[in-house]
Amino acid sequence: MLDINFILQNPEKIKKAARDKNLDPTIVDQLIETDKKRRQLIIEIQKVREEKNNFEKSIKAKPDQATIEKGKDFKKKLAALEPVLRDAEKEFNLLMISIPNVPDESVPIGKSAADNVEIRKWGEIPKFDFKPKNHVELGQALDLIDFERGTKLAGFRGYCLKNEAVLLHLGVIMYALEKLTVKGLTPLVPPVLDKEFCFINTGHFPWGKKEAYETSTGEKKEDIRWLAGTAEVPLVSYHSGEVLNEKDLPIVYAGFSPCFRREIGSYGKDTKGMFRIHEFLKVEQVVLCKNDWKESGIWHETLLANAEELLHDLELPYRAMLMCTGEMGEPQVKKYDIETWMPGRGQYGETMSDSNMGDFQARRANIRFRSVKGKLEYPHMLNNTAIASPRILIPILENYQTKEGWVRVPKVLQKYVGKEIIKR
Question: Catalytic residue numbers?
Answer: 261, 276, 350, 353, 391
Note whether 33 and 92 are within 8 A (CB): no
* CB of 307 closer than 8 Å to CB of 281: no
CA distance 414 to 424: 17
| Backbone angles phi and psi of 280, in degrees to 5 | -160, 180
Strand partners, 243: 368
Rounded-to-integer distance, Cα 254 and Cα 383, Å: 10
